Chain A
């Protein structure tokens, strides 16, 4: 073998090894997780978990908690003096956030034929799922309260929301998703690399945890088997909202009374759905859609999801999983 050939082979070997080492270093660098600010705490009457990723350490959680508190003081119907609290007394309030939510939710109400309706406040108060009683309200009382439920009678004029006397708002179905919207807006402005946030199980995800721009993996809780997951939704960016009959409920005479009320009947929805997770590009809408889809069931939800370019994973009472729309869902083994 000639000397030049030997040198060539030698150089090739060195180049090859350098190539391999460089590829591994680049791979490790791209997969290296950014600095993460990770915290769970209580806010808005629920558990909020933050995972915020950036090149350097951040300290944004206190500000975000304050943001959530301020939002709660606007949309809670239980906090004295909040715009929604005042609305439920005076049938009128002036607040840009409430006005925006009511206006956008009216469209969801319309598209769900009234199954989802923010003016369900009086019926929600009767069921009082947050309270101690766990009693089924009286039929007559429900029928009376139901008379006040009508999204068409809510009117929005600029920042002013008004209603017929006796109508009451309950923004509970969309509050967590709305908080996700606020958090995302703040974090995008702050310029962080990425974040995945859970406000009581409603998820907001954007950016990435590493330079490889790996997608987020959002697990969906199993509606019946505690501690287990149903599967994983993969997404680059978006919001995931879940409505299920397994969180807030009580049982009476062998029947489960869960907290998702059908605004057309005033009773817990009977669509034979145990859980539905909606993926959408807007947090508040994602929350509204998951409630509406839970009440409507798989087939009646299709047009609604299409209208918002959203997708969903349903689980019915037989355990059957239905995936609607373009969603990367992998069932757990």
Chain B
């Protein structure tokens, strides 16, 4: 094997050192490409806003389970999702919004001025949701 490599190397005039340099540069290229991907983190946070003020931020972990009372609403955090469980509003649109789990998902109880939005690195294949 060594012999063949030596022969081939001789044929195109490449030495072991050259191969090392190319390998090193290719490694640098790969690192440059992968670095931005590795830099991003996957954590998602539910940001809860009451009357324009952030009142709570909760990281959405699969094992996290929490019941939060915000204004006249009750929010449940479970299995990496958040949803409105109870609200004193007439239309219950907030409860109908269902579970939020993706970055950028937002639900609100307009009469009670409660907004829940999920923040984090956008890994969705979309920028905004039309409804």
Q: Please determine whether B131 and A221 come into contact, CB atoms closer than 8 angstroms.
A: yes
The answer to whether the Cβ of A326 comes within 8 Å of any Cβ in the partner chain is no
The answer to whether the Cβ of B124 comes within 8 Å of any Cβ in the partner chain is yes
Q: Please determine whether A196 and B25 come into contact, CB atoms closer than 8 angstroms.
A: no
> Digit string of A195-228 for contact with B (CB within 8 Å is 1, else 0)?
0111001110100010000001111110000110
Q: Please determine whether B32 and A219 come into contact, CB atoms closer than 8 angstroms.
A: no
The answer to whether the Cβ of B22 comes within 8 Å of any Cβ in the partner chain is yes
Q: Please determine whether B130 and A21 come into contact, CB atoms closer than 8 angstroms.
A: no
Interface-located stretch among A71-79, A240-248, A266-274: A240-248
Given A1-B13, A42-B113; A205-B108 close (CB under 8 Å): no
Q: Please determine whether A232 and B126 come into contact, CB atoms closer than 8 angstroms.
A: yes
The answer to whether the Cβ of A319 comes within 8 Å of any Cβ in the partner chain is no
Q: Please determine whether B106 and A13 come into contact, CB atoms closer than 8 angstroms.
A: no
Least CB distance from B51 to A in Å reads 9
The answer to whether the Cβ of A317 comes within 8 Å of any Cβ in the partner chain is no
Cβ contact of A196, chosen from B14, B90, B128, cutoff 8 A: B128
The answer to whether the Cβ of B115 comes within 8 Å of any Cβ in the partner chain is yes
The answer to whether the Cβ of B55 comes within 8 Å of any Cβ in the partner chain is no
Least CB distance from A8 to B in Å reads 9
Q: Please determine whether B131 and A9 come into contact, CB atoms closer than 8 angstroms.
A: no
Which chain B residues numbered 61 to 92 have a C-beta less than 8 Å away from chain A? 81, 90-91
Closest residue of B by beta carbon distance from A5 = B13
Complex Cα spacing A100 to B104, Å: 34
Q: Please determine whether B126 and A46 come into contact, CB atoms closer than 8 angstroms.
A: no
Residues of chain A within 8 A of B110, CB atoms compared: 42, 45-47
Total chain A interface residues with beta-carbon distance under 8 A: 52
The answer to whether the Cβ of A17 comes within 8 Å of any Cβ in the partner chain is yes
Residues of chain B within 8 A of A9, CB atoms compared: 12-14
Cβ contact of A41, chosen from B14, B29, B49, B125, cutoff 8 A: B49
> Digit string of B87-128 for contact with A (CB within 8 Å is 1, else 0)?
000110100111111101111101001010101000011111
Which chain B residues numbered 23 to 69 have a C-beta less than 8 Å away from chain A? 25-26, 28-29, 32-33, 36, 49, 52
> Digit string of A40-66 for contact with B (CB within 8 Å is 1, else 0)?
111001110101000000000000000
Q: Please determine whether A203 and B93 come into contact, CB atoms closer than 8 angstroms.
A: no
Closest residue of A by beta carbon distance from B105 = A227
Given A17-B29, A28-B36, A42-B110; A218-B128 close (CB under 8 Å): yes
The answer to whether the Cβ of B129 comes within 8 Å of any Cβ in the partner chain is yes
Total chain B interface residues with beta-carbon distance under 8 A: 45
Which chain A residues numbered 171 to 217 have a C-beta less than 8 Å away from chain B? 196-198, 201-203, 205, 209, 216-217
Q: Please determine whether A17 and B131 come into contact, CB atoms closer than 8 angstroms.
A: no
Least CB distance from A252 to B in Å reads 15
Cβ contact of A219, chosen from B28, B96, B126, cutoff 8 A: B126
Residues of chain B within 8 A of A220, CB atoms compared: 129-131
Most buried by A among B32, B96, B115, B126: B126
Residues of chain A within 8 A of B115, CB atoms compared: 40-42, 47
Least CB distance from B115 to A in Å reads 6
The answer to whether the Cβ of A141 comes within 8 Å of any Cβ in the partner chain is no
Complex Cα spacing A17 to B30, Å: 12
Complex Cα spacing A205 to B113, Å: 26
Complex Cα spacing A246 to B96, Å: 9
Residues of chain A within 8 A of B102, CB atoms compared: 227
A-to-B contact residues, CB < 8 Å: 1, 5-6, 9-10, 13, 17, 20-21, 24-25, 28, 38, 40-42, 45-47, 49, 51, 129-132, 196-198, 201-203, 205, 209, 216-221, 226-227, 229, 232-233, 240-242, 244, 246-248, 277
- Additional A-B contact list (18), CB under 8 Å, known A1-B12, A218-B126, A227-B101: A1-B11, A1-B13, A10-B18, A17-B22, A20-B26, A21-B29, A40-B117, A46-B110, A131-B90, A197-B128, A203-B130, A218-B128, A219-B128, A219-B130, A226-B99, A233-B130, A242-B130, A244-B131
